[in-house]
Chain A
């Protein structure tokens, strides 16, 4: 559905486009910068071209080297980008003005340009290319006539390292009630095929539009400070404009048009949407995205995602949850590698700034060089782009050279930059370690062992709605907050195969008035990439502690299918349980009761019990309960995920938030103690304001855009 305002707008844009048809000549420089570039991009004062005073930043890898990827447990070429190394695109006839005070100078073979940094005039924050050739192709597709002119330097005036490598590591802190902070998150749009010219709507993912009168609009909400869109084009080429319309959501869900921005569509490109800012998002905002396609070739599909930064105040003590990502196990490498990729992990939405931490610890075993263990230099980068420190490790000679690699801290500015970048492309989080001997040679890595420790851990925010100071918005009736734990591990038993285990546990606190008070979801699978085989989780144990009695903890069990169908014996297995009761009664009359039947009773009884999936609850102590899921030997349910809602008597009638702690998780035979926190909201003493417009529109949080209300199917 398009807006009526659009026709006039597109007509005007068409006129502008006609003027721009002639390909503009641009110079491309390979730049070494002493200023890391993020969203504040170089501008040359006085220059005037289709992107205003802005220069285009195109990322190209600094180098590509073989690395091992945890996700697949395989080796592959891994590019390493660097925020101080990029291509700069300058209009060929640039005539800079020297009247404005420069923040830096761009020294090129064609002369020196004064540079200032700010959010992009022309809307394009950056473009990512695989190589310089790829970059030139992308620029040509944008209607430019690029000419590579060699190397250049971007030299900052004054302190060059402000905000960069020299940034002092900040200690992660836990959010405290009453504090205000930045919250990062993402929006997700549906990947859309381009099959015709003209206007093509890119709808929000999920079924709910933020506006009654604009179908496919995405909810942004209140107090959004920054907004960046990222594009991914697959399967063909598109010559189009990307149109972003911003709406204000009125009281009853109708939207009024605030304005629109039009950009030239390019692949792997980030756009700055300045219309969404602290001033405009005093109102509740929505955003609508479409393409104005001039031509296309192949069968292109356009994917759009967005990253956002919000200002949020922590008021009630239950608006945050925790995310922890871990890696564990041993990996046989046996080759020369320069990169180790730990991840990718889901970049869970709602990252609360200043809270990231890591205790990444691994042991590398390398082949000695001429019988000597050389010093190993490890450069930690987030997503292979921003640095988080470089350290040198001395090897211990134990036949092999053993290096104990430990990351002392995460560089917060780097993490924020990369999180914001990744979300614009719907991407995840990974550590990319660049390893080399201090003499520059590449180590032959025999194996590596990851200690079961956090790769990433941070606090995450639950919602994007403005909370009313006195009350709680009605949207809190259906909160959609989950604390999440993600792990990669290698299997050691039962089969030491070239596989990798991927597990995910989330605790979603349930809303008041629902059947349960919290909901656990457990997923786990072994993947054997080489064998093209997946084995679903067979057993899981999760220990939950709370400062209340866990007595009478009741847990349900559901498969994550369309209906959330119950984990319960079904079919003849279920009938057999009924028959068993009768037979047991007869045997009891005959004097054969319980364990008297010994091995016979055990084999048949337990055999039947373990045929189907089951959920069990064990009380470990007054405060701790263990929830156990077992996949039956006869079960053929094709699901790697189990949803376990639970409740205890003690969680009812609460007028303060309750802290749950996941103290231990065992997925199959991989056990870890994550100490993951989740908060259950109180169910008394709170007044709900009537503000229902977006109560069901939980489009921001977990697993893209879904309604936050789960329904249960009871057979």
Chain B
């Protein structure tokens, strides 16, 4: 596939569709780990994916799956977003040769994607809010694939947009 990011976008969405049949048991941890892993690869692929990142994100996601068998790992559910964020900033700063630019890239993409999500939410009469509020439910399953698709899709647009903006700014600066 030409665009690696599109490949991971599809991977996230296809994986999220498994939620429809995923059993409500400790295996939910595995699902969450898978989702976090693929989403992280998807995002990082926007700035450049290396093998190292696959390993790192694998290590970041694994404790989420293992928490039900080693309970203290539930703490990782709290810490994992921060860890992913740090790695993403690191990856972006490698691409833009500066920690500040890397940080701005990640935060900028996330903010822009949430603006798109809000717009979609407004257009659909609060469908996305409803999906987010539902959380993980044993019987209501449609929300997770929807969120996965909308989130990755909007993030794809936003990260590409931020990339263009950054390229433009860099050109202007010479």
Contacts and interface: CB of A to CB of B under 8 A. Distances in A.
Interface stretch (A9-17, A110-118, A628-636): A628-636
A637 B113 CA distance: 40
B124 to A, nearest CB: 15
B107 A631 contact: no
Given A600-B39, A603-B36, A604-B64, A576 B74 contact: yes
Contact of A580 (B67, B72, B78): B78
B68 to A, nearest CB: 5
B46 interface: no
Given A572-B71, A572-B75, A600-B84, A669 B139 contact: yes
Contacts of B78: 576-577, 579-580, 582-583, 604, 608
B138 A538 contact: yes
Contact of B12 (A539, A575, A596, A599): A599
Given A572-B74, A580-B77, A608-B74, A603 B111 contact: no
Contacts of B35: 599, 603
Contact of B81 (A493, A604, A668): A604
A579 B113 CA distance: 27
B34 to A, nearest CB: 9
Residue of B72, B74, B103, B152 contacting most chain A CB atoms (<10 Å): B74
Contact of A633 (B136, B148, B155): B136
B147 interface: yes
B39 A572 contact: no
A601 B152 CA distance: 13
A215 B84 CA distance: 67
Interface in A544-592: 571-573, 575-577, 579-580, 582-583, 586-587, 590-592
A539 B72 contact: no
Interface string A686-710: 0000000000000000000000000
A121 to B, nearest CB: 60
Contacts of B138: 538-539, 630-631, 633
B109 to A, nearest CB: 10
Interface residues on A, range: 35 or more
B114 interface: yes
Contacts of B72: 572
A268 B84 CA distance: 70
Interface residues of B, number: 46
A611 interface: yes
B82 interface: yes
Contact of B135 (A580, A587, A606): A606
A609 B71 CA distance: 15
B82 to A, nearest CB: 5
A399 interface: no
B74 to A, nearest CB: 4
B148 A607 contact: no
Interface string B36-58: 10011000000000000000000
Given A577-B78, A583-B82, A591-B111, A604 B137 contact: no
A595 interface: yes
B24 interface: yes
A261 B153 CA distance: 83
Nearest to B84: A600
A313 interface: no
A619 interface: no
Interface string B1-34: 0000000000010000000000011111100100
Contact of B75 (A576, A591, A596, A598): A576
Interface string B63-87: 0100110011111011111101100
B85 A595 contact: no
B132 interface: yes
Interface of B: 12, 24-29, 32, 35-36, 39-40, 64, 67-68, 71-75, 77-82, 84-85, 103, 107, 110-111, 113-114, 117, 132, 135-139, 147-148, 151-152, 155
13 contacts: A579-B75, A580-B78, A583-B78, A592-B107, A598-B110, A599-B148, A609-B136, A610-B28, A611-B74, A630-B137, A631-B138, A633-B138, A634-B28
Given A572-B73, A597-B81, A633-B25, 12 more contacts: A539-B139, A571-B71, A583-B79, A587-B81, A592-B85, A600-B36, A600-B40, A602-B147, A607-B32, A607-B136, A630-B138, A633-B27
